[in-house]
Structure 1
Amino acid sequence: MSAKNAGSKPNKPADVIETGRLWQRPGFLIRRLNQIHISLFYESCKDFGITPVQYGVLTTLREHPNLDQTSLCAEVGVDRTTMADVLHRLEDRGLVKRKPSPTDGRIKIASITPRGLKVTEDMYEAMREAQIRFLSPLTPQDRATFVRMMLQLVEGNNQYGRTLLKHFD
C-alpha cells in the first residue's frame, strides 16, 4: 500500500495489490499457505500415509457413495488424470474399490471400502488437528471470516479451475 493510502480503507483491488512486492501478491500468499497447510497435514497425519487429496476423495466417497470418476472430479476439484491416479493408489491399498457401471460399462463407479471407512474415521482427529493448527494464528472470529472469504473466492473464480467444483456446502 502506498504512503498516501496507508490510512485509508482500500476501495478496489489495485489499492491492496502492489504487484512489485512479493508478499502482497495474493497468488504468492495462497501458494505459501498451501505449502504450510500440506506440511501441517503431513505432520499431523504421518502415521496414515494419506495425502490431503486422497483424504478428500475418501471423505467424499464416505459422504456420497458410488460415484463415477467425473463426478468425483467435480466434488473434489481435481482433473481426471489426477483423480485416476488417486483412485488407483487408494484401490491398491484396499481403501477404495471400483467396478463397472451397471448402465455403462465404460464408466467405473468408485466406492469406499470398510477399510477405507476405518482409515478415514481413524484419521479424522489428526486431520482436524492440522486444520486447527493452520488457523491458530487467527482469532476465532477471523477464522470464520477467513474460511468464508476463501469460499467466496473459490465460488467466484470456479470457472478458472482445471476442474469445476459441482457445488458448495
Structure 2
Amino acid sequence: MATEDLYQRPGFLLRRAHQISAAIFERACSELALTPAQYGVLRVMQDHPGIDQSSLARALAFDKVTVLRVIKGLQERGLCQRALSADNRRQMAVRLTPQGTELLRQARLPVQKAYETLLSPFDEAQRQQFMGLLSLLNAQLDGEARASFVPMGSGSMGA
C-alpha cells in the first residue's frame, strides 16, 4: 500500500480528526487547564451527582483505569470528590465540588468556541450531515469498541 493510500483510510482520517479536535479544545480551554476528557467527566458529574465511577466510565466510553486517572487528577485540583456509594458500598460515587461547578461555568464560552472552530469548515447542511454520519458510524459499530458506551439519559444514574 502506498503512503498516499494510507492517508485516505478512514482510521487514519478519524485519528487525525481526533488529534485536531483535541488540540482545538485544549487551546480554547488552556487558561482553565481543561482537557476534553476532564470536561466530559465534569459534565457527566454535573448532570448526574453521585454517579458511580463505573457508570461514569460507560457514559463516556472510557475504560475504568482512564476514568479513575481523570477523576484523581480532578480531585487533586479540588474539582470533585469521591466517597463510597450510598447504594452500593463496593462502588465509589463522585460529585462536583463548588470549584468544579465554577470551572464548568467558566468553560462554557471556550468550549462553545472550540465546537464552532472544529465545525467551521462546514456550512450548516454539511455540519448536520457530518454529525449524522459520525453518529451512524458509532451506533452501527459500537460493538467493535474496547470500552462500553452506555449513554446517560436525562435524570438517569446508569446501572
User: Are residue 44 (structure 1) and residue 28 (structure 2) matched?
Assistant: yes
2:117 maps to what in 1? Answer: 133
What amino acid is aligned across from residue 100 of structure 1 in structure 2? Answer: L
What amino acid is aligned across from residue 36 of structure 1 in structure 2? Answer: I
Within-5 A mapping of 1:57-72: 57-72=41-56
What displacement does 1:20 show? 6.9
Within-5 A mapping of 1:29-40: 29-40=13-24
| Structure 1 residue corresponding to 2:68, chosen from 80, 84, 99 | 84
In structure 2, C-alpha distance between the alignment counterparts of 1:167 and 1:19, rounded to whole Å: 37
| Structure 2 residue corresponding to 1:115, chosen from 88, 99, 105 | 99
Higher Rg? 1
Q: Percent identity?
A: 32
Aligned residues: 152
What displacement does 1:162 show? 1.9
What displacement does 1:69 show? 0.8
Q: Which runs of 4+ in 1 moved over 4 A?
A: none
TM-score (norm 2): 0.90
What displacement does 1:57 show? 0.4
What displacement does 1:34 show? 0.5
In structure 2, C-alpha distance between the alignment counterparts of 1:116 and 1:56, rounded to whole Å: 12
**3-state DSSP class of the match of 2:83?**
strand
Are the aligned partners of 2:59 and 2:150 in contact in 1 as well (CA < 8 Å)? yes
What displacement does 1:167 show? 2.7
Instruction: Identify unmatched segments of 5+ residues in structure 1.
Output: 1-17
1:13 maps to what in 2? Answer: none
Are the aligned partners of 2:50 and 2:85 in contact in 1 as well (CA < 8 Å)? no
Are the aligned partners of 1:19 and 1:25 in contact in 2 as well (CA < 8 Å)? no
Distance 1:147 1:19, change over 3 A: farther
What displacement does 1:80 show? 0.3
User: Are residue 53 (structure 1) and residue 37 (structure 2) matched?
Assistant: yes
In structure 1, C-alpha distance between the alignment counterparts of 2:135 and 2:145, rounded to whole Å: 14
Instruction: Identify unmatched segments of 5+ residues in structure 2.
Output: 154-159
What displacement does 1:71 show? 0.2
What displacement does 1:30 show? 0.3
Structure with larger RCO (C-alpha < 8 A, sep 6+): 2
